[in-house]
Amino acid sequence: MNRFLLRRTLTTLITLFGIVTVVFFLVRVLPGDAAVLRAGPYADPARLAQVRAQYGLDRPLLEQYGTYLAGVLRGDLGTSTVSSSSVTYELMGRMPASLEIGLYAVVLACLIGIPIGVLAASREGGWIDRVVRLVAAAGSAMALFWLGLLLIYFLFYRLRWFPGPVGRLPSGVDPPATVTGMYTVDALLEGRPDVAWQAARALMLPVLTLVIVLVAPILKMVRGSMTEVLATDYVRTARAMGLSRWEVLFRDGLRNAMLPVITAIGIVFGYMLGGNIIVETLFSWPGVGRYANQAIKNHDLDALQGFVIFVGVLYVLLNVVIDICYGLLDPRIRLGRRSS
C-alpha cells in the first residue's frame, strides 16, 4: 500500500506541474496585451510601461514563468485584474458555496441512482429495467440550462413551491458565522435552525436541477456494471450455495461493480465543484463556476488562469482519492506490481 501511495503521489506532482506549465504558456500566447487589460484600453504608453514593470510583464517569459510557479507553490494564483484582489482568496471564499450545492446534489443522485440501478440489473429485460433505461436516456438528453429554466418557471414562478434564484439566502436574512462556509451546516452549528431552513430552501431548486441530470449517468453506469458482474461465475456460485438474493446483489455484486461507478461519481463531483458554471449562473449562486463566468465576461485572464489551475488541482486530487478507493475495494490494484 505504501508503494501504491508513493507512485500516486509522484504521478500527482508531475501532473500538477504539467497543468501549471500548460495553462501559463497557453494564456501568454492568447491574443491581447495583459498590460492593456490591467491599465485599460485608453492608457498612455507611460502608464502601460508602469503596469508592465509593476507586474513583471517586461521580464523574459521564462523569468515570468519561474516567478508564477514559485507563487503557485506558495498558494498564490495571482491577482484579479477587475477586483485587484487575490485570486486564491476569491476562489477559496467561493469554494464552500460550490461544495454545498455539489455535495448535496451528488449524494442525492447516488442515493437514488445506485439502488435503482442495482434493481434494474437484477430485473434485466423486465419492465423496471425498461423504465430505468428510458429515464436514464431522457436524463442524459436534458440540457442543464433548459431544465433549470423549466424548474424556475413551474416550481417558482407558477407554483411558488420554492424560492427564486436569488442566491444562498433571501434578502434581509443575515448569513451565519463562517465555520465550514456551508450555510446549512454553519446555521445549525450556530443554533439558528430558521436560517438553516432558509438556506436549505434556496438549495432545493439548483440541487434538484443537478440531481435530475446526474442520476442518469449513475443509473447507466450502475446498471451496466451490475449486469456484467451478475453474469460472472462467482455470482452464480454464490447463488448455488444458497446465499440470499440481497447478499448476492449487495455483498458480492455491488462491491465488485463499484469500481467504474466510483470513477463516474468522482468525475461528476469534480465537475460540480469546479465547472458548474451554468447552474451557478442561472441561480445566482456565488460559487467558483460563476466566478469563472464573470472572469470570461470581464476578460480577467489572471482570474481565469487561476480558476483553470484550481480546477485542475481539484480533478487531480479527486483522481488520487478514487485510486485509493480502488485499492481499498480491490487489493489486486494496490498489490498488482508487487505480485508481478
**pLDDT for res 275:** 57
Task: Choose between 263 and 197: higher pLDDT.
Answer: 197
Residue closest to 38 by CA, chosen among 57, 25, 21: 57
Residue closest to 272 by CA, chosen among 220, 211, 231, 324: 211
Mean pLDDT of 166-180: 86
pLDDT(108) > 90? yes
Least confident span in 27-31, 73-77, 140-144, 151-155: 27-31
- Summarised one tens digit per residue, pLDDT across range 286-337 is 888 888 888 888 878 888 888 888 888 888 888 778 777 776 766 665 555 4
How far apart, in whole angstroms, are the C-alpha atoms of residue 52 and residue 29?
Answer: 17
For the chain, the C-alpha Rg in angstroms (whole number) is 24
Task: Choose between 107 and 322: higher pLDDT.
Answer: 107
Length of the chain (residues): 340
- Summarised one tens digit per residue, pLDDT across range 266-289 is 877 777 766 578 888 888 888 888
Per CATH, the number for 94-339 is: 1.10.3720.10
**pLDDT for res 61:** 83
Compute CA distances 335 → 255, 259, 318, whole Å: 18, 16, 21
Mean pLDDT, the chain, as a whole number?
A: 82
If pLDDT is split at 50, 70 and 90, which confidence band does 183 have? very high
If pLDDT is split at 50, 70 and 90, which confidence band does 205 have? very high
Mean pLDDT of 187-211: 92
Task: Choose between 259 and 283: higher pLDDT.
Answer: 283
Task: Choose between 229 and 111: higher pLDDT.
Answer: 111
- Are the C-beta atoms of residues 81 and 182 closer than 8 Å to each other? no
pLDDT(340) > 50? no
**pLDDT for res 4:** 64
Per-domain residue ranges for the chain? Answer: 94-339
State percent of the chain over pLDDT 70: 92
